[in-house]
Amino acid sequence: MRMKKAAALAMLSASFGALLCAASVVPAAAQGGAQVRIDADDIGGVVTGAKGPEAGVWVVAETRDLPTKYVKIVVTDDQGRFVLPDMPKANYDIWVRGYGLVDSPKVKAQPGKTIDLKSVQAPNRAAAAQYYPGIYWYAMMKIPPANLFPGTGPQGNGMSPTLKDQGQWLRFTKTDGCGHCHQLGDLATRTIPQSVGHFNTSAEAWERRLQAGQAGRNMMEELAKFDVQRQLVLLGDWTDRVAKGELPKSDPPRPVGTERNVVMTEWDWATPTMYVHDTISTDKRNPTVNAHGLIYGAPEASSDNVPWLDPVDNKSGVIKSEFRDPKTPTTKNDLILAPSPYWGNEAIWDSHTIIHNPMFDETGRVWLTARIRPQPNPAFCKEGSDNPYAKIYPKATSNRQVEVYDPKTRKIDMIDTCFNTHHLQFDKNGMLWFSAGGNYDVVGWLDMKKWDQTHDAAASQGWAPFVIDVNGNGKRDIGWTEPNAPTDNAKDKRMVLGFYGASPNPVDGTIWGGVVGFPGGVVRYDPKTQLSEYYEFPYKNAKNPQSGFSPRGSDIDSKGVFWAVLSSGHLVSFDRSLCKAKLNGPGAADPQNLCPEGFKYYQMPGPEFDVPKGTPGASAEAPYYVWLDQHNTFGLGENTPIVTGNNADSLNALVNGKWMVMRVPYPMSFYAKNLDGRIDDANTGWKGKGLWTQYSGRSQPHLEGGKGQQSKIIHVQYRPDPLAK
């Protein structure tokens, strides 16, 4: 893909030769006296263009001299100056990338050198737009008008009756559709590979494309959420318009203000056939754990090998995970409906353990949600067992269990669980809490201390159904009404409210999570009473006219305020202390009206679909995860929410109600599913701390550069100014 782009840009630039200037290595003081001071391990200089200093553009340095490919990216200041700090000894290719430009020629440099770079103005807007984040292209996608909802079927308005609201379509168009696996709008998705074959219409080409590779079945399942033929036509129309030269209706802004203070360091890890879902760098409760240590990733469906990165020695490798039962299924046997444009009929994924999420404990061990056996549960989980939790609510199956890896001994222990595991997180007492990843019937936990003492899986775990205190007596009563039964105000009510993520509240020990769906909501589980509360997003609710829907990732701040990202393109907070009504009793069974005043919405930055102004969910952004910086590991203050901009190549920090956009410009198609922050050395200021995140998209060939690309892990640091060394 990169070679094709380079060739296309070269052709476009041929008639604009006067605009092309080769970058040259000259003293950095040559530009109007602008001085850049560097140390022996820095590279600094000035970027100028046709109109003088080039402010707010990226300087990218890349080398393959180290054990794994290494990249560092900084932003120029108002005078076009830059400093690439703390560069390992190597030979680097350095170039300029920025909005309104095309990439400058690469210059060779080594640490301790100052260089001046010449930017290259884009010959036209079409050339400039090739560097825009996918969201600018994806916003060109057409959305069915609101008057087609609710659908009344073929004999009515032609829309599927399963679609009740335009918001549902927007939900599936973004985070809860194809967008939960990769970026939308990047070059790989806004064009159709020729290798899929020739078709009479682009709608037919899209249907074939969505069947490709080992993810084909999943993609067709996502397509089935829509009015299928209508969505195929809309996808085909979008890519047809792109192919004919239609361009995004707006242009991305360059970094400004504090956005220029960011330093990004990237390493390749894993392999071209592996993707990485999540990473972990430290204990979320204490970010000084594992200082300067290895970073670990979760390869999910792609591999049984857990990738690791050593950011000190710039090395990467893998650890083989384990499974107990030889009958444990593997993704290698997943049905391939049609050949992949990149891998043909080759089954590149081979995972038994489908590791989803890693987490550090205070001793430096890594805990992983991992499959160790087929789905049928052991006897202690099932009906008839004397296990106290099975007596109340027996469990017949679970899809994924737990592993713990000790870096000191390099050994893995497998722990069987009765409940589904997806994401996991420790509370302040060492209890490990699990989400199920979707609508599910129980919350589960593992007592780490008891496990360490006994290695007795049955005695160390517990689970509970989600029960609402409808009768208002403050305790969970056996004999509740079931989810599909009418509410009885004299009885409690069980609901299916599985967490997507599990967030322990550091204030009161309750466990919080987002409930996926439309409009979705927030669930609070209290381990003391084993009761739950459910607050539905007040979508189009007169008591809270702000409209957002369908959560994905979530976290909680140190004050107990819950935060989540929504498919509608919002970050939302929920503060239970703002609730005015009684939170148990008969009113608790009406989640849409239980506490609408507790929600506050923040629209994500970026363009919107071409729908009437004020349409709920009009944003083309598909945020996947929010992380709360409880310990100020980044430098923007305690409890700063940082959100993944999955269609926008970005991380986005909400600072005093305003967005700070931290774009990852190279390689394009940055897409993250989690992040955390670590403090390596508090005595070294900004250099001793920062965020860790990764390229999480399921298809590495979607990245700039195409087939052969690997997942990347990124260290994001925030310095006091753009020239800090």
- Rounded distance, CA 436 to CA 558, Å? 24
| Chain centre to alpha carbon of residue 553 | 8
Whether residue 631 lies inside any domain: the answer is no
Overall average pLDDT of the 518-543 stretch: 95
Task: Please say whether the beta carbons of 380 and 387 come within 8 A.
Answer: yes
Three-state helix/strand/coil letters over 560-602:
CCEEEEECCCEEEEECHHHCCCCCCCHHHHCCCCCCHHHEEEE
- Taking residues 568-583, report their average pLDDT: 97
Q: How many domains does the chain have?
A: 1
22 pLDDT higher than 60: no
Whole-number pLDDT of residue 542: 82
Predicted TM-score (pTM) of this structure: 0.94
Confidence of residue 93 (pLDDT cuts 50, 70, 90): very high
pLDDT at 31 over 70: no
Give CA separation, 220 vs 178, 338, 373, in Å: 10, 12, 27
In a domain, 587, yes or no: no
In a domain, residue 15? The reply is: yes
Q: Of all residues in the chain, what percent are helix, strand and coil, respectively (each to 5)?
A: 20, 30, 55
3-state SS string for 281-332: CCECCECCCCCCCCEEEECECCECEEEEEECCCCEEEEEECCCCCCCCCCHH
Does some domain include residue 48? yes
Q: How far is CA 394 from CA 315, 384, 386, 461, in A?
A: 46, 8, 10, 13
pLDDT the model gives residue 61: 98
Q: What is the mean pLDDT of residues 179-193?
A: 96
Within 21-106, strands assigned E span: 43-49, 52-53, 58-63, 70-75, 81-84, 92-97, 101-102
What is the Cα–Cα distance from 263 to 85, expressed in whole angstroms?
A: 8
pLDDT of 24 higher than 50? no
Q: At what angle do helices 228-243 and 216-223 cross, to 10 degrees?
A: 110
Task: Give domain status of residue 219, yes or no.
Answer: no
Strands 295-298 and 278-280, bridge-based pairing: antiparallel
CATH number for the domain that contains residue 95: 2.60.40.1120
pLDDT tens string 117-160: 999 999 999 999 999 999 999 999 999 999 999 999 988 988 99
pLDDT band per the 50, 70, 90 thresholds, residue 34: low
In a domain, 187, yes or no: no
Q: How far apart are CA 351 and CA 656, in angstroms?
A: 43
In the chain, what's the furthest Cα-to-Cα distance?
A: 83
Q: Please state which of the ranges 9-13, 112-116, 451-455, 548-552 shows the lowest mean pLDDT.
A: 9-13
DSSP state of 377: P
pLDDT of residue 48 exceeding 90, the answer is yes
Q: Would you call 645 helix, strand, or coil by DSSP? A: strand
Quick check: is 646 in a domain?
A: no
Answer for the pair 400, 422: CB distance below 8 angstroms, yes or no.
Answer: yes
What is the domain range of residue 116?
2-129
**CA 242 to centroid of chain Cα atoms:** 26
Domain annotation covers residue 203:
no
* Res. 2: pLDDT tops 70: no
Q: What is the 3-state secondary structure (H, E, C) of 143-212?
A: CCCHHHCCCCCCCCCCCCCCCCCHHHHHHHHCCCCHHHCCCCCCHHHHCCCHHHCCCCCHHHHHHHHCCE
Q: Tell how far CA 656 is from the center of its chain.
A: 23
- Decide if pLDDT at 100 tops 90: yes
Q: Which two tokens stand for residue 368?
A: 């992983």
Cβ-Cβ contacts under 8 Å for 292 (sequence gap 6 or more): 311, 312, 680, 681
Cross-strand pairs, 262: 718
Q: What is the mean pLDDT of the chain?
A: 94
Strand partners, 642: 627, 653
CA–CA distance, 523 with 51 (Å, rounded to integer): 55
Of 260-274, 427-441, 643-657, the poorest mean pLDDT is in 427-441
Residue holding tokens 């807007």? Answer: 125
Structure tokens at 329: 């299924």
H/E stretch holding 389: helix 388-392
| Beta carbons within 10 angstroms of residue 27's beta carbon | 12
The pLDDT confidence band at residue 12, using thresholds 50, 70 and 90, is: very low
| Token digits of residue 583 | 């939170």
∠ Cα 522 524 527 (to 5°): 160
Query: Quick one: pLDDT at residue 181?
Result: 93
